[in-house]
């Protein structure tokens, strides 16, 4: 089971890296004096969309601090100690996995672009659906029968990805997306305001 969750987290993390690379791809600046066209450059990511930015400092350093034992119990995960993996951009991924369900927390304070980068690259995801998590822009991505990811725009630069997975009917919330959404809301509420 743990390998399945880590593989899902790694897959979504890979998409975020590709999205980060693609977000910066723009046509070269025209040579001074050369004619320009309206569509010579890719459109910039959408403007700031986070009205109440949060500080990801602690979670960036320790992704396991993103969810409390009570948060994990509320979604039926976290009965086993967490495992820490590394994202492709070098930050930790904290995975709580047990026989019924799992949750992972993946901060991204490296790639930049905030939620605008995610929106600009939404075609890279399967089943991309925008939603609101605690007043922050978010998207449910790559949902399947057993796994689901939620990416939240924490501030104008950073995102937080929460993956949920369900392994049995005994899980408190039998919908992986419901697990991911509830865990994302909890993780967001645990973050302090950005100063």
Model pLDDT, residue 172 = 62
pLDDT of residue 121: 95
Q: What is the pLDDT of residues 86-127, one digit of tens each?
A: 999 999 999 999 888 999 999 999 999 999 999 999 999 989
The answer, as to whether pTM is greater than 0.85, is no
**CA 146, CA 128: separation in Å to the nearest integer?**
16
If pLDDT is split at 50, 70 and 90, which confidence band does 145 have?
A: confident
Report the Cα–Cα distance between both ends of the chain, in Å, rounded. 39
pLDDT tens by residue, 147-184 = 999 999 999 999 999 999 998 877 666 789 999 999 99
Would you say residue 20 has pLDDT above 70?
no
* Domain 2-23+54-190 classification at class level: alpha beta
Task: Locate the domains of the chain by residue range.
Answer: 2-23+54-190
Distance from C-alpha of 77 to C-alpha of 84, rounded to nearest angstrom: 16
**Phi, psi (rounded to 5 degrees) for 8:** -65, -45
């Amino acid at each position: 089971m743990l390998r399945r969750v880590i593989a899902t987290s790694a897959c979504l993390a890979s998409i975020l890296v590709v999205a980060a690379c693609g977000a910066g791809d723009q046509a070269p600046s025209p040579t001074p004096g050369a004619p320009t066209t309206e569509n010579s450059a890719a459109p910039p990511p959408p403007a700031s969309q986070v009205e109440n930015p949060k500080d990801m400092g602690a979670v960036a350093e320790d992704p396991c601090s993103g969810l409390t034992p009570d948060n994990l119990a509320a979604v039926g995960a976290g009965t086993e100690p967490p495992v820490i993996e590394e994202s492709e951009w070098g930050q930790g991924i904290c995975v709580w996995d047990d026989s019924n369900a799992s949750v992972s927390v993946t901060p991204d304070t490296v790639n930049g672009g905030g939620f605008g980068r995610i929106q600009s690259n939404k075609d890279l995801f399967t089943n991309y659906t925008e939603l609101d998590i605690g007043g922050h822009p978010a998207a449910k991505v790559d949902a399947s029968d057993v796994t689901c990811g939620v990416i939240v725009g924490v501030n104008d630069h950073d995102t937080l990805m929460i993956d949920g997975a369900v392994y049995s009917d005994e899980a408190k919330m039998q919908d992986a997306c419901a697990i991911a959404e509830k865990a994302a809301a909890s993780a967001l509420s645990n973050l302090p305001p950005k100063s």
